[in-house]
């Protein structure tokens, strides 16, 4: 199942426009904060799909019943670009457990690249709701490698993949490879073009560099 939040008019699209804008994105603090706010909106939308139990709450003047989330949530992100998005999700799921994944492109002299999976820190995820976040989904290869790696920690009740800007090719790739899984893909916007070097167009550039500075 794919849910595209940017297809509906809301304040969400204001934040998308600002992280894309080459002038506004020069402010790294604002860029990170916008990514974080986008994560908060994703968290709110995902919360509508969770399980709830009626809970009795005592107030200073009496008691009332309210439906509260009864799922254990694990928020996971692919470093480093995924960290502001991770924080946005965690702002709403403050009781969540956390997982972190290191996966990156290793480029060769001919311009081709391999996806290397280096590190995973994760709790057990059996019967929990897993949220796997990365702001950009280009080819989908990094996300699929991260997905398979973290699922070695157990079988979650449901997995939510969260990405802000995706290529059509990347979304199609995940759909093909995760068609039989209990997974929902949440996307902010889908761009049609992916260059030979696997950059999304119009995209927004390198999310990690924009958030934390350029790398060698």
Q: Has residue 73 got a pLDDT over 80?
A: yes
- Domain count for the chain: 1
Q: Which residue has the tokens 């939308």?
A: 45
**Rounded percentage of the chain residues whose pLDDT exceeds 70:** 94
Residue 162 is predicted with a pLDDT of: 98
**79 or 175, which is more confident?**
175
Convert the pLDDT of each residue in 18-70 to its tens digit. 999 999 999 999 999 999 999 999 999 999 999 999 999 999 999 999 999 99
pLDDT above 80 for 199: yes
Confidence class for position 179, pLDDT limits 50, 70, 90: confident
CA–CA separation, 170 and 196 (whole Å):
13
pLDDT of residue 47: 98
User: Tokens standing for 23?
Assistant: 């002038």
d(CA 142, CA 186): 16
Whether 165 has a pLDDT exceeding 90, the answer reads yes
Is 178 contained in some domain? yes
pLDDT value, residue 115: 67
Residue 169, in any domain of the structure:
yes
114: exposed, middle or buried (Cβ count in 10 Å: 0-12, 13-18, 19+):
exposed
Looking at residue 134, which CATH number applies to its domain? Answer: 3.40.50.2020
- C-alpha span between 1 and 157 (Å, rounded): 15
Q: Does residue 24 fall inside a structural domain?
A: yes
Q: Is residue 42 part of a domain?
A: yes
The rounded mean pLDDT for the chain is 92
- Within a domain: residue 37? yes
Structure tokens at 121: 């820190």
Residue 216 forms part of a structural domain: no
Domain limits at 44? 2-211
Give the pTM. Answer: 0.91
Please check the confidence at residue 71 and state whether its pLDDT lies above 80.
yes
Task: State the Cα–Cα distance between residues 72 and 62, nearest whole angstrom.
Answer: 29
Apex 102 CA angle, 96 and 105, nearest 5 = 140
Contact 122, 96 (CB under 8 A): no
pLDDT of residue 198: 84
Ranges of beta strands (E only) in the chain are: 2-4, 52-59, 62-69, 73-79, 97-107, 113-121, 129-133, 136-137, 158-167, 183-191, 193-194, 200-201
| pLDDT(107) > 90 | no
Percent of the chain with pLDDT over 90: 78
Cα dist. 130→14, 19, 41, 43, 215 in Å?
27, 26, 17, 12, 30
Closest by CA position to 203, among listed 112, 137, 113, 104: 137
Is residue 189 included in any domain, yes or no?
yes
């Amino acid at each position: 199942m794919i849910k595209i939040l940017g297809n509906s008019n809301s304040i969400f699209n204001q934040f998308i426009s600002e992280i894309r804008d080459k002038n506004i994105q020069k402010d790294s603090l604002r860029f990170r904060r916008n990514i974080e706010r986008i994560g908060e909106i994703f968290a709110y939308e995902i919360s509508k799909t969770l399980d709830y139990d009626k809970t009795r709450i005592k107030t200073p003047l009496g008691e009332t019943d309210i439906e509260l989330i009864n799922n254990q949530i694990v928020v996971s992100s692919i470093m480093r670009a995924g960290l502001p998005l991770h924080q946005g999700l965690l702002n709403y799921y403050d009781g969540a457990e956390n997982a972190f994944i290191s996966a990156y492109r290793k480029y060769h002299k001919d311009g081709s690249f391999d996806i290397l999976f280096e590190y995973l820190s994760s709790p057990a995820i059996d019967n929990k709701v897993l949220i796997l976040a990365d702001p950009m989904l280009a080819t989908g290869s990094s996300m699929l490698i991260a997905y398979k790696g973290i699922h070695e920690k157990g079988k979650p009740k449901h997995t939510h993949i969260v990405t802000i800007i995706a290529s059509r090719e990347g979304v199609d790739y995940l759909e093909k490879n995760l068609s039989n899984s209990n997974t929902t893909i949440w996307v902010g916007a889908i761009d049609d073009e992916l260059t030979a070097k696997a950059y999304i167009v119009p995209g927004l550039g390198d999310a990690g560099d924009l958030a934390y500075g350029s790398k060698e």
